[in-house]
Amino acid sequence: MPDLAIQISEEQALGHIPSGVKRILIIDDDKNLARLIARILSLDGEYESVVVSEPGVGLVKARQQRFDAIISDIIMPAMDGVELIRAIRAFDLDLPIILMTGTPSIETAQKAVEFGAFRYLSKPVDPEELRNVVKQAVFTSRIAQLKRQAFQLSGVEDLRPGDLAGMTDAFACALETLTMVYQPIVVAQSGELYGYEALMRSGDARLPFPKSILKVAEHLNRLFDVGRKVRDISISPMKDVPSDVKLFLNLHPRDLLDPELGSVESEMSENAGRIVLEITERESLDRVPQIDEKLDRLRNMGFSIAVDDMGAGYAGLTCFAALQPSIIKLDVSLIVDIHASVVKRRVVESMVEACHDLSILVVAEGVETIDDLNVCRDIGCDLLQGYFIGKPAAPFPAINWI
């Protein structure tokens, strides 16, 4: 008997695959021009046009109905074209928006394209150019939807907005709804609680994962805003656990450039002795000048430094020489199914031996089975983290131990 959950999932997915008539929403307070555009598009017999004269009405229709593209005047009494793009991106990441104007200028064209207008056309619009642009817009819209479906079918969801307006709106919502969950890290030999890693979560479906939030933050030059919010909200719950329990906080390398990092007046600095700053190997440190001085200052304040994702990024001697970590976290890819891989076991065993020579603690991250736990413990990993021990949850999840 087929799995009902799979059937439902596939039916839902099929409902989002674009097909059938190509629908265009035309928004223009010049009703005669809007109707003319609709007639031009109807000549091809491929398009069904819906004409409205008020942006607010257009937004309601765009939210309630499926369209392959929007054509809108850039200057209207209630809302301009850029505001329209921002409003659309709050609920549709891919819908192409073609803006038109009777008073073209380089400045307005640049602004329109910057915020995600698919194309910027001057009035009076050439019919052939209009048809070509709409054809390209519809193609782009349907390909974007199909790509998202392909991501989801492969088990990966990439919901990041594709233009500046969508990114700006999604990022603002993600930052506003940002919360932290905590995953336990335990001593390998005893199962005793060593610390918690704070992991961010977003309430915005467009940017649900930390990586997607950080990618958009990089694009918008808003990494500091994310880092500050994470640091501000991560520490408070730790007052409810013993003072010797560590808090592991992730830093983007460029957070090291933030003048507020390590401010002596912050709650974070007051708790420096229990905080481990994780810096991922997946990001280059090249864009952080005078990194030695910045890290020395943090160490002198009492913070510990850890290298995260060891074995999965830029790696090499440069990372170790710059960071001089007291803790390394082995990447999940090295730990998952280590019990079934002689190569993984030997690589990790050698890493542990090398780290212990420098008095560096080793965290095995990604322990998901009892077999992997036993191998990591047997080969000398100091600390363990993973779903087998405890899944990330609001403070604080229970610990599973053998």
Expressed as residue numbers, the domain containing 217 is: 164-385
Give the model's pLDDT for residue 105: 67
- Residue-wise pLDDT for 87-146, tens only, equals 888 888 788 999 988 876 667 666 776 667 888 888 888 999 999 999 888 888 887 776
Beta strands in 188-252 (DSSP E): 193-201, 246-251
User: Is 188 among the domain residues?
Assistant: yes
* pLDDT range class, residue 77, cuts 50, 70, 90: confident
- Residue 264, domain member (yes or no): yes
- Residues 264/298, Cβ–Cβ less than 8 Å: no
Residues 176 and 144 in one domain: no
Q: Is the pLDDT of residue 328 over 50?
A: yes
Residue 100 domain flag: yes
Residue 340 lies in a domain: yes
Q: Does some domain include residue 318?
A: yes
Is residue 87 situated within a structural domain?
A: yes
Maximum Cα interatomic distance, the chain, rounded to a whole number of Å: 79
Q: Is residue 230 part of a domain?
A: yes
Q: List the single range of 3-7, 101-105, 329-333, 369-373 with lowest mean pLDDT.
A: 3-7
Within this chain, do residues 209 and 116 fall inside the same structural domain, yes or no? no
Domain count, the chain: 2
The reply to whether 170 and 317 lie within a common domain is yes
- CATH code where residue 82 lies: 3.40.50.2300
Do 146 and 187 fall into the same domain? no
Query: Per the structure block, which two tokens stand in for 99?
Result: 């803006």
Tell me the C-alpha distance between 402 and 388, whole Å.
Answer: 10
State yes or no: cis peptide before 2, omega within 30 of 0: no
Which of 2-11, 131-140, 144-153 is predicted least confidently? 2-11
Q: Domain end: 127, 152, 177, which one?
A: 152
Given 152, 184, 212, which residue is the final one in a domain? Answer: 152
Distance CA 199, CA 209 (A): 10
State mean pLDDT over 222-227: 94
What integer best gives the mean pLDDT of the chain? 84
In this structure, the answer to whether residues 297 and 348 fall within a common structural domain is yes
Reported confidence tier of residue 315, pLDDT bands at 50, 70, 90: very low
Domain boundary among 86, 117, 152: 152
Q: pLDDT class for 166, splitting at 50, 70, 90?
A: confident
For residues 170 and 140, membership in a common domain is answered with: no
Let me know whether 124 and 259 are in one domain. no
Q: Using pLDDT thresholds of 50, 70 and 90, give the confidence band for residue 4.
A: very low
User: In Å, what is the CA distance from 68 to each residue of 13, 17, 131?
Assistant: 18, 12, 14
CATH number, residue 309: 3.20.20.450
> What per-residue confidence (pLDDT) applies to 341?
92
Q: Cis (ω within 30 of 0) for the bond into 396?
A: yes
Residue 66, domain member (yes or no): yes
DSSP readout, 47-69? EEEEEES-HHHHHHHHHHS--SE
Q: State whether 106 and 169 are in the same domain.
A: no
